[in-house]
Amino acid sequence: MADLESLDEFCQAFTKPLLERGKTVLVTTFTYTTNGRFDVEETKTNLGVLNKWILNQTGHQRSEHPLFSYAALGPQADIVIHVGKSAFGSDSIFERLYNRKAAFLHVGRPVSMGNTALHHVEHMCGATYRVHKGFKTEVFRGSNYVGTDYTAFLRRRDVPGENFAFNFTKACDKIYEKGLIREIGSSKDLNNISMYSYDQTLDFLKDLFYQDQRIFIQSDFMEY
């Protein structure tokens, strides 16, 4: 029981100060359910402690995408409900967050590790090393059927010798140089708290992509 209380206190230490200030907390609850059934209310995530914890909190909301779902807690938690079927495109959580004064928050996680919003940038900019893929996973919210044929913009697997491995280091360095990140602690020592604007960062990443389409990958692959 003591461990459970400690876990709850740990997660509340992150969320309570934000919620008390009227902010809404969004976290990833990915399950990568590529087939079968995905239940918004029941399918568990295998991500981190905070990700699992938020799904057990009263008043949380969760999006319906069977691969890339998000959970939210706070006054604007409804932003994740009834998202579009594209993981990173039209009416996705990433599109909805734009112009909402959102921010990224890294706690003990280097910014250089990136985040999934990068794939929204790739989607919107038309990265040629990725391809749209649909999934027949059936999505339910409890006993209510929500739909199927959700899609995601995923790495191509048809180019010999290429796996299009992700590399955010180059872009991260430029974000720091641009002065977009407010940070205390050290990413190297994993005790950093780093915050940066959602809108400003996505706009900047789009500019970087248009300057160099390889900015987010290890490969020198180019295709027009």
* C-alpha radius of gyration, the chain, whole number: 18
Domain boundaries, the chain: 2-184+193-211
Least confident of 98-112, 147-161, 210-224: 210-224
Residue 37 · residue 55 · CB < 8 Å? no
Residues 6+ apart with CB under 8 A from 155: 129, 130, 131, 163, 164
Whole-number pLDDT of residue 4:
53
Please name which of 134, 131, 172, 121 lies closest in space to residue 153, comparing C-alpha atoms. 131
pLDDT at 224 > cutoff 80: no
The model's pLDDT over 1-42, given as tens digits with 9 standing for 90+, comes to 445 568 889 899 889 999 999 999 999 999 999 999 999 999
The model's pLDDT over 67-124, given as tens digits with 9 standing for 90+, comes to 999 999 999 999 999 999 999 999 999 999 999 999 999 999 999 999 999 999 999 9
Whole-number pLDDT of residue 69:
98
One-letter amino acid of 224: Y
How do strand 70-73 and strand 61-62 relate by DSSP bridges? antiparallel
Q: What percent of the chain has pLDDT over 90?
A: 88
Task: Give the global pTM.
Answer: 0.91
Residue found by looking up tokens 């969320």 in the block = 15
